[in-house]
């Protein structure tokens, strides 16, 4: 089994693969204040709760976009497994051509999502990562990452709305039955969720116009399923696309057959 650990600004997602099959997913909240020892306990408990024997994990790979936690998570995994995990960093073969002014600026979360999508979907592609930020990653027909657009995430927008506007409450991220809200909560839900779908629709339209091609659209991340049904453009949902990309990169670097 291979353990994939994806650390983003909101959550830490652990996935366990048996060859190409993702058999277990567990999550915990990203907390920059927790120590190595605390993460050892958290990860161990999460995996044990799913019946995963650490001795059966033959390899691990880590992607972390939270700079303050890279060493902490690496050392926690090393203590649990008895070896350092592979990291998505310079020197790791991803097989992903990147056309950007500075390819080093492209975050590991974007890279693993792109690798996962290219291995599973027909190109050209737009990958919409819906987590702390809403990230549009554009892959051309040759499989090259040619650029990215980044917008505030849906949850951040909802939290900012309730925090900065004193008369607006926090509302759950769910779409109301109608777009035109008839009370405050309904109006906020509509604006947040239908607004998120409209951003997807509008950005895909603009990306296609700039490319001169139609694209396949893949939504991934924590709220992808909730937004997908509201979009007018055809979309596919692959919630754990980044984990799939990490598994692909792990095998690419160890030359093991999947």
Per-residue 3-state assignment (H helix, E strand, C coil) for 106-173: CCHHHHHHHHHHHCCCCCCEEEEEECCEEEEEEECCCCCEEEEEEEECHHHHHHHHHHHCCCCCCCCC
* 91 backbone φψ class: left, alpha, beta (φ>0; ψ -120 to 50): left
Question: What pLDDT, on the 0 to 100 scale, is given for residue 63?
Answer: 96
CB 116 within 8 A of CB 242: yes
109 flagged as catalytic: yes
Span 224-246, mean pLDDT?
A: 95
Report DSSP state, residue 190. I
How confident is the model over 20-60, as pLDDT tens digits? 899 999 999 999 999 999 999 999 999 999 999 999 999 99
Between 45 and 184, name the one with better pLDDT.
45
> Whole-angstrom distance between the N-terminal and C-terminal Cα of the chain?
11
Distance, in Å, from the CA atom of 108 to the CA atom of 258, rounded to the nearest integer, reads 22
Distances (CA, A) of 173 to 129, 186, 197, 223: 16, 11, 12, 8
Confidence of residue 175 (pLDDT cuts 50, 70, 90): confident
Q: Please, which pLDDT band fits residue 170 given cuts at 50, 70 and 90? A: confident
For 210-223, the pLDDT digits (tens) are 999 999 999 998 88
Is the pLDDT reported for residue 258 higher than 50? no
What pLDDT is attached to residue 35? Answer: 96
Question: Which residue out of 74, 109, 201, 238 is catalytically annotated?
Answer: 109
pLDDT of 109 over the 60 cut:
yes
* pLDDT band for position 256 (cuts 50, 70, 90): low
Q: Are 211 and 192 in contact (CB under 8 A)?
A: no
Residue 224 has pLDDT above 90, yes or no: yes
Of residues 203 and 154, the one with the higher pLDDT is 203
| CB distance 186 to 173 below 8 Å | no
Location of structure tokens 């600004």: 9
């Amino acid at each position: 089994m291979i353990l994939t650990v994806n650390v983003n600004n909101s959550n830490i997602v652990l996935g366990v693969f048996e060859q190409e099959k993702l058999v277990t997913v567990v999550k915990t909240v990203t907390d920059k204040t927790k120590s190595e020892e605390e993460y050892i306990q958290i990860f161990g408990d999460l995996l044990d709760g799913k019946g995963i024997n650490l001795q059966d994990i033959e390899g691990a790979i880590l992607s972390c976009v939270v700079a303050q936690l890279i060493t902490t998570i690496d050392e926690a995994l090393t203590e649990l497994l008895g070896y350092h995990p592979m990291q998505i960093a310079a020197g790791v073969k991803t097989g992903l051509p990147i056309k950007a002014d500075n390819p080093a600026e492209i975050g590991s979360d974007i890279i693993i999502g792109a690798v996962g999508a290219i291995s599973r979907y027909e190109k050209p592609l737009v990958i919409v990562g819906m987590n702390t930020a809403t990230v549009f990653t554009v892959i051309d027909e040759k499989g090259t990452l040619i650029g990215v657009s980044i917008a505030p995430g849906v949850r951040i927008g909802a939290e900012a709305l309730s925090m900065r506007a004193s008369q607006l409450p926090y509302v759950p991220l769910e779409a109301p039955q109608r777009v035109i809200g008839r009370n405050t909560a309904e109006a906020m839900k509509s604006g947040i969720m239908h607004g998120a779908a409209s951003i997807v629709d509008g950005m895909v339209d603009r990306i296609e116009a700039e490319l001169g091609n139609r694209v396949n659209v893949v939504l991934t991340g924590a709220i992808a399923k909730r937004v997908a049904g509201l979009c007018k453009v055809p979309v596919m949902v692959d919630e754990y696309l980044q984990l799939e990309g990490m598994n692909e990169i792990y095998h690419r670097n160890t030359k093991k057959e999947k």
